[in-house]
């Protein structure tokens, strides 16, 4: 005789949503507790737990229901994501990764002048910890933790500011090398052939990242590949030749070289 109750339980378990995963934030990102003494670190490690979202490669539409009052943002634990801001048919991209704090629930940029749409894409499988109201209550006894998370916003802003400054450099190869070396510092790994930047980036996305046009990016990449400064990696990323950092310095500061020679 078929056990219908047991069958119902089995079917329910197969189609039930996966149980939420939780992590201790100080275990996965110990640097957040750098301003706490050892006793505070131990106490905060036990209670400062956040829910983790696992994200597959592709477009990501964050659940707007999760953006209630008191949510500080989301801390990226693993992976690489791209935030795109579009105004009409033009836009800019920002790459974020481990250690960055983002607020992905805002679909629009509030402005009385321009209407901008915000979208997200996961470039590498990612995990993000949700810093919701319940989490913020648990870390209230340690304002140093709140400050450390807020500083992550500031660090991200400084990186974006440095990259935005390169958009005013006339030479496209300088803009691209500056971007790729910034990505190498964050996501790269050193090999005998050079530094691999293992992030798949199309020419169109590179253009949005450096504030240029796709044809100009293609031309600059072709020239740099011919000169041996960079080459494409098998998975769509880039390999930076070890001497390309010196090339970037020479291209970015030509006036200083001339002045030094004159002295």
Chain mean pLDDT for the chain: 85
Total residue length of the chain: 263
pLDDT in tens, 116-136: 889 999 999 999 999 998 999
The pLDDT, as a whole number, for residue 110 is 65
167-262: which CATH topology?
A: Arc Repressor Mutant, subunit A (1.10.10)
- The answer for residues whose C-beta is within 8 angstroms of residue 95's C-beta and 6 or more apart is 80, 81, 82, 123, 183, 199, 209
CA–CA gap between residue 76 and residue 129 (Å, rounded): 6
Output 99 or 262, whichever has higher pLDDT: 99
Task: Give the pTM.
Answer: 0.82
Annotate 57-84 with b (16+ C-beta within 10 A) or e (fewer): eeebebeeeebeeebbbbbbbebbbbbe
10-165: which CATH topology?
A: Jelly Rolls (2.60.120)
Q: Decide whether 10-165 matches 167-262 in CATH topology.
A: no
pLDDT category of residue 4 using cuts at 50, 70 and 90: low
Name the residue ranges covered by the structural domains of the chain.
10-165, 167-262
């Amino acid at each position: 005789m078929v056990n219908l109750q047991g069958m119902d339980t089995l079917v329910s378990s197969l189609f039930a949503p996966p149980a939420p995963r939780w992590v201790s934030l100080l275990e996965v990102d110990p640097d957040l507790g750098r301003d706490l003494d050892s006793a505070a670190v131990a106490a905060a490690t036990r209670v400062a737990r956040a829910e983790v979202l696992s994200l597959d490669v592709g477009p990501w539409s964050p659940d707007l229901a999760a953006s209630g009052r008191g949510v500080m943002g989301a801390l990226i634990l693993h992976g690489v994501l791209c935030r795109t801001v579009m105004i009409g048919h033009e836009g800019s991209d920002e790459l974020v990764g481990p250690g960055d704090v983002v607020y992905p629930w805002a679909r629009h940029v509030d402005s009385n002048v321009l209407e901008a749409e915000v979208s997200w894409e996961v470039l590498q499988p990612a995990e993000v910890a949700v810093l919701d109201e319940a989490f913020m209550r648990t870390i209230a006894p340690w304002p140093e933790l709140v400050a450390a998370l807020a500083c992550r916003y500031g660090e991200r802003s400084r990186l974006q500011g440095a990259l935005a400054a390169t958009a005013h450099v006339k030479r496209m190869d300088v803009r691209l090398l500056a971007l790729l070396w910034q990505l190498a510092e964050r996501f790269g790994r050193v090999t005998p052939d050079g530094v691999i930047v293992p992030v798949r980036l199309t020419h169109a996305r590179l253009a949005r990242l450096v504030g240029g046009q796709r044809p100009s990016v293609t031309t600059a990449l072709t020239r740099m590949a011919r000169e041996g400064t960079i080459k494409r990696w098998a998975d769509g990323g880039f390999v930076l030749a070890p001497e390309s950092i010196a090339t970037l310095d020479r291209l970015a500061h030509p006036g200083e070289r001339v002045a030094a020679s004159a002295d």
